[in-house]
Amino acid sequence: MKIRVRPLLATIHLWTGIALCLPLVLLGITGALLVYDHDIEALFGDSPPQIARSNVAFVPVEAQIAAAKTANTDASLIPVAYTPPQVPGDVARVRFGQVGRGGPPVGAVIFVDPTNATVLGMQNTGAGWMRTVHVMHGSLGMRDRTGREIVGWFGVAMLFLGVSGVVMWWPRPGRWAAAFKVSSKARGQRLHRELHGAVGIWSLLVFIIVSFSGTYIVFPETLGTVFGGAPTNAPPPKVEAARDATMLPLDASIEAARAVVGSDIIRLVGPAARRDQPVRVQLARAGDKEGAPTISVFVDPFTARVLDVRDPNQQSTGRIVQAWQRAIHAGRGLGPIWQAAVFISGLLPPLFAITGISMWLLRRRARRATDERVRAALATSS
């Protein structure tokens, strides 16, 4: 029996879209919101405090973290990350959390004035509606790995819908020009079909890239083979120190990292949570936009000796592509045009859902009307 591939693919495409309509729309809308999360928070007055004295020298990072510790009221939480101001007027952020805990983060972010180590406020990492949006997008609100993996498989479904959509859209000879646009005379089923196809083909590249990057974030070990090998998620180097050794101030490790990389642009500092852990300093190169992959420097907290430097740009092309996947998916690091493109890609699932289901319903209605006419004609002739 000869199987007609295109009709079969169309059927699978249709029912995949209908069955996964609601979760894909949810992922699309939440993803679009997260592209401009900071702007949305500022719009609704939920943004962090600001400082006016952005040209004043900063006090040591150690002092800023010490001030944040005094404001932390939960003894089970420890400082896990320090983020310095990234733009003039910004505050420093000290994130507190429970090391090794799975699921959505539990903890708080304490805002500190970097010029005098004054605590300016606190925010629960699980609070706020944008945090809810983030959790829904990343794991559908589930607290274990299951939700994250389901989201990853939804990404696979999006990739299938994109590729199969191209096969279904592929125009006949002489129809290429019309296939890229929506006719002003289109109405009803034709309007939905042309809108579905034209928007799909014009946005295909961004849709595929964003869908793949989201899937990669969930399954890096599996999809890493696409770039010539699984990603190097090697654990940080171990620190060996005498039992009576004392950790140096965090600023000593930061200065050591700056010196070896030759950059003063700090994106994040991860203090050593245990005595066998290094300090992790993430630095950016001059000209890198916020969100672009950073250079990770691991430093011995007892001696300020650099233990390892992991620079994505010093690796193979495949490794560089891997390092960019998270930034690409979030719309970060590549400028406002890509950011807008990722935002628009999040609005595509609702559009495809509306036009796709509308086409299906209109076809069913037309088919039923035809069947009714045929039955009426047969009844009359008999």
Sorted by where each begins, the domain ranges of the chain are 5-36+135-228+336-377, 47-127, 250-315
CA distance to 58, 80, 95, 118, per residue, from 63 (Å):
10, 15, 15, 10
Strand order in the sheet with 118-124: 118-124, 107-113, 92-97, 78-83, 265-270, 279-284, 295-299, 306-310
CA distance to 195, 357, 358, 366, 377, per residue, from 189 (Å):
10, 10, 7, 10, 25
Is residue 325 a contact partner of residue 276, using CB atoms and an 8 Å limit?
no
Nearest to 350 by CA among 185, 196, 219: 196
- The span from the CA of 194 to the CA of 180, in Å, is 8
∠246-94-263 over CA atoms, to 5°?
Answer: 75
The tens place of each residue's pLDDT in the chain, 382 residues long, gives 455 778 888 899 999 999 999 999 999 999 999 999 888 877 876 677 777 666 678 899 999 999 999 988 887 888 999 999 888 888 999 999 876 554 445 578 889 999 998 898 887 766 677 778 888 898 888 877 888 899 999 999 999 999 999 998 998 888 888 889 998 888 888 899 999 999 999 999 999 999 999 999 998 877 777 666 555 566 888 988 778 888 999 999 999 999 998 888 899 999 998 888 999 999 988 888 888 889 999 999 999 999 999 988 887 777 788 888 889 999 988 889 999 999 999 999 999 999 999 999 998 998 888 888 888 888 777 6
**Full-model pTM:** 0.81
